[in-house]
Amino acid sequence: MADSEDIFLRAKHRTFSGLTEDAESKWTGPFFFIQAADPQLGLMKAWKEGDCEGGGDEWAEEVELIRRAVEAVNQLRPRPRFMVLCGDLVHAMPDTPFREGQERDLKKALKGTDPSIPLVFVSGNHDLGNTPTPRTHEQFCSAWGNDYFSFWVGGVLCLVLNSQLFHDASACPQLKEAQETWLEEQLSRASSSAEPKPKHVLVFQHIPLYLKTPDEEDDYFNLKREVRQSLLERFKRAGVKAVFSGHYHRNAGGLHDGLDMVVSSAIGCQLGDDAHGLRVVLVTDEAIVHRYVSLEQLSMGGADRDLQELLQG
């Protein structure tokens, strides 16, 4: 790559450089990747002080957690094919104090990631605003690359989606329409007999479809039932195997009708009893198996042991 900044802008033209259909559409055997969520620099102090709207003027704790995560991931053998961060990269909303500093320090910490491990970025509500606008959308894309795109890894098709456009696109309806058109094209192709035929289809987005069951009540932490049911039907028709998300700052989710809704807790601020951690995801010929691993376990080689256990079934 031309310079180190390029690692943050590899998602462009609705694909991801180095993980393209031409290069990665053939199944080459089992592999694993790392899913992370909600580093959200600034939330830990804001949460402690009870000022999540205006707080967050310190983020050294989150930076240290990210550095620990990067160091531990770099030690994994074999190395993961990629690491995806499922949104809320920083806590400061667009055009608010601390935003620039939080993004700067997050990028500085992530630059330590081994160059052989691509970093995939998903947009969250704090990255775009709860009601995104064309301006906040452009700000995100300028800093982190496309907000929705596809990529291939070892015969597996991965779709990265902007879930804020499912949540509230009232200020940017044209952006919502564009993503919907693109998504329908991707899902239609995935379910067709056209080559290349993906071994699996995976989706990455920030807001979960649901936390426990598909028919649960609407909540801040899930998508509205009408939107949720529509996406579930479309995903199932296209053969989507799993949807990976964050947003909840706790582990949740569940398998329903063959689709696994995976809700991972945070690298950063915990809102429940989970530890700061990452999810190790093993992709086999038949299944997607995964386990949440704390940063402490990860640094002590726990992910290696978990990988061996996952490989052994």
Q: Write out pLDDT tens, residues 210-243.
A: 999 999 999 999 999 999 999 999 999 999 999 9
Residue 84's H or E segment, with its range, is strand 83-86
The pTM score is: 0.96
CATH of 11-311 given 3.40.190.10, 3.40.80.10, 3.60.21.10, 3.40.50.2300: 3.60.21.10
- Asked if residue 282 has pLDDT above 80, the reply is yes
Tens digits of per-residue pLDDT, 12-60?
A: 999 999 999 999 999 999 999 999 999 999 999 999 988 888 768 999 9
Domain extents in the chain = 11-311
**How many whole angstroms separate alpha carbon 179 and alpha carbon 242?**
20
Burial class of 87 by CB neighbour count within 10 A (0 to 12, 13 to 18, 19+): buried
Tokens 């033209």 identify what position? 13
pLDDT at 52 (0 to 100): 83
Torsion, Cα 5 68 46 87, to 10 degrees, reads 50
Annotate 247-303 with DSSP letters as a single string. SSSS-EEEEETTEEEEE---SS--SSSPPSEEEEEEE-SS-EEEEEEEHHHHHTTHH
**How many whole angstroms separate alpha carbon 213 and alpha carbon 206?**
17
pLDDT at 51 (0 to 100): 82
